[in-house]
């Protein structure tokens, strides 16, 4: 007799937990305006809105854990700006590169014909060949550099990227 009661309680618990995962079609457990709505949407005066998980499919449910995730990462970096940055700043040693975020970190290096050493961090945040896509942070051992120097480096990178794009278009 006791095992029959235990089995019944276990079965009832299993059924109620599975029913709770769905969350659709029943007004049991609802409070507020949702509890007073008609179960049949055809007889209801106002259209019944489903929860966001039921409308879009990307809500919270137990089955979301088993859906296949898109694991492919898209690279959103302009290849001409990337190559031009490496080309123009080739006198500096490359410390780290991350093509997925578009960051190139250069160490200290002295340009040909110059006496001052610089380091740079280049951030390419857009796939467009545009000045807004390129951010260059330039510094020297003595601190920050003049805005004109930084702008000249950005212009050199942009001009080299445009030259590379034009040369690639002729192929």
- Dump pLDDT digits (tens) for 89-114: 999 999 999 988 899 999 999 999 88
Give the pairing of strands 134-140 and 103-106: unpaired
Helix residue spans in the chain (DSSP H) = 2-22, 33-36, 52-56, 79-88, 147-169
pLDDT greater at residue 129 or residue 21: 129
Which of 11-15, 51-55, 65-69, 145-149 has the highest mean predicted lDDT (pLDDT)? 145-149
CA 7 to chain CA centroid, nearest Å: 48
Q: Which pLDDT score, from 0 to 100, does residue 167 have? A: 93
Q: Which pLDDT score, from 0 to 100, does residue 46 have? A: 56
> Average pLDDT in the 129-156 region?
93
**0.75 surpassed by pTM:** no
Residue 6's pLDDT band, with cuts at 50, 70 and 90, is confident
Nearest to 98 by CA among 114, 120, 118, 122: 122
Rg of the chain in Å (alpha carbons): 30
Separation of alpha carbons 15 and 13, rounded Å: 6
Q: Within a 10 A sphere around the Cβ of 1, how many other Cβ atoms?
A: 5
Residue 151's pLDDT band, with cuts at 50, 70 and 90, is very high
**Residues 120/135, Cβ–Cβ less than 8 Å:** no
**Residues 99/92, Cβ–Cβ less than 8 Å:** no
pLDDT greater at residue 17 or residue 115: 115
- Dump pLDDT digits (tens) for 72-95: 666 688 899 999 999 999 999 999
Residue 117's pLDDT band, with cuts at 50, 70 and 90, is very high
Share above pLDDT 90 across residues of the chain, in percent, rounded to a whole number: 43
**136, β-bridge pairs:** 122
> Average pLDDT in the 58-85 region?
75
pLDDT greater at residue 40 or residue 154: 154
């Amino acid at each position: 007799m006791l095992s029959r009661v235990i089995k019944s309680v276990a079965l009832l618990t299993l059924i109620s937990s599975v029913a709770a995962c769905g969350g659709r079609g029943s007004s049991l457990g609802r409070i507020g305006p949702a509890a007073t709505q008609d179960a049949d949407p055809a007889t209801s005066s106002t259209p019944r809105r489903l929860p966001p998980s039921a409308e879009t499919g990307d809500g919270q449910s137990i089955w979301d854990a088993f859906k296949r995730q898109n694991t492919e990462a898209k690279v959103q970096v302009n290849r001409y700006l990337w190559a031009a940055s490496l080309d123009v700043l080739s006198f500096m040693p490359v410390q780290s590169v991350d093509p997925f975020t578009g960051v190139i970190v250069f160490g200290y290096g002295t340009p040909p014909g110059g006496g001052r050493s610089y380091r740079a961090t280049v951030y390419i945040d857009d796939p467009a060949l545009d000045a807004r896509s390129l951010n260059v942070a330039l510094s020297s051992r003595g601190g920050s550099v003049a805005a004109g120097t930084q702008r000249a480096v950005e212009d050199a990178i942009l001009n080299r990227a445009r030259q590379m794009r034009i040369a690639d278009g002729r192929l």
